[in-house]
């Protein structure tokens, strides 16, 4: 499913992969503008994750986060976002979008990004 979500983000066709009752929780750490409350509704969730995961120059990769597959978004080797998700019945039910710079340092690929 996660590979399908990566492809959907790239093509702009995220909504069909989201459950009608899907919920997105985001963490910007007070440094990145994100919704302060959980986001409901496939259209709004698709908009939020597309905005944060498909900026120009973004490189999306599937990696293990807390033992589960997740999408790591980097630009020039610097982690910009981590998107974790739960899936049930072949649709995404819950998403966690981490944009807090303090929580992304472990995901930088270039040591100079520190």
> How many Cβ atoms sit within 10 Å of the Cβ of residue 27?
15
Residue 76 near residue 110, CB atoms below 8 Å: yes
- Order of strands across the sheet with 78-88? 39-40, 18-27, 91-98, 78-88, 68-75, 59-65
Q: Dig out the tokens for 112 from the structure.
A: 């100079």
Model pTM score: 0.92
- CB count in 10 Å sphere of residue 40: 12
Domains of the chain: 2-102 (3.10.450.50)
pLDDT by residue, tens only, the chain of 114 residues: 999 999 999 999 999 999 999 999 999 999 998 999 999 999 999 999 999 999 899 999 999 999 999 999 999 999 999 999 999 999 999 999 999 999 999 999 865 555
């Amino acid at each position: 499913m996660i590979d399908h979500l990566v492809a959907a983000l790239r093509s702009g066709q995220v909504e069909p992969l989201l459950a009608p009752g899907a919920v997105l929780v985001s963490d910007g750490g007070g440094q990145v503008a994100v919704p302060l409350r959980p986001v409901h509704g496939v259209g709004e969730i698709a908009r939020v994750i597309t905005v944060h995961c498909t900026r120009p120059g973004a490189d999306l990769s599937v990696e293990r986060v807390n033992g589960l597959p997740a999408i790591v978004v980097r630009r020039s080797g610097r982690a910009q976002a981590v998107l974790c998700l739960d899936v049930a019945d072949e649709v995404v039910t819950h998403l966690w979008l981490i944009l807090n710079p303090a929580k992304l340092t472990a995901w930088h690929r270039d040591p100079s990004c520190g």
